[in-house]
Amino acid sequence: MIRILKYTAILVLALVPAARAADAPAGDAAKGKQLFTTIGCSYCHGTAGQGGGGRTGGLRIARMGIGYAAFLNQLRHPVNEMPPYVESALPDKDVADIFAFVAALPPPPDAKTIPILNN
């Protein structure tokens, strides 16, 4: 029984990224990067989505693994201190571009590859 649950969990986890990508409208990652910087996302979330910036240390958003609907909902109806980005200020097409940029961000480097952390 445990073996079946284990394989089921692996299968579900393998399919989740495809489902997340499927729910997102087409976006332009290059335009999304420009928007991410100019509208202020990078101030709190860092230039590579690593988090830790701003007055309250914005969350890491790179490689979060959330779908477009959750991403859009957080922008429109944010939790905590994030300002809302209403559609009149940030159209859905721009949100799709930002989502494409964030989804394309590479994972952070493994700590083992950073020399100063391994001395």
pLDDT of residue 16: 42
For residue 47, the model assigns a pLDDT of: 86
Q: What is the pLDDT of residues 33-57, one digit of tens each?
A: 999 999 989 888 888 888 887 777 7
Please state which of the four CATH numbers 1.10.760, 3.40.50, 1.10.10, 2.40.160 is assigned to the domain occupying 2-107: 1.10.760
Is-contact 74 41, C-beta < 8 A?
Answer: no
Counting residues of the chain whose pLDDT is more than 90, the rounded percentage is: 39
Q: What is the reported pLDDT for 67?
A: 92
Question: What confidence score (pLDDT) does residue 22 get?
Answer: 55
By the 8 A CB rule, do 36 and 26 touch?
no
Q: Is the pTM of this model over 0.75?
A: no
**C-alpha distances in angstroms, 5 versus 8, 11, 14, 47?**
5, 10, 14, 39
d(CA 15, CA 12): 5
pLDDT of residue 68: 94
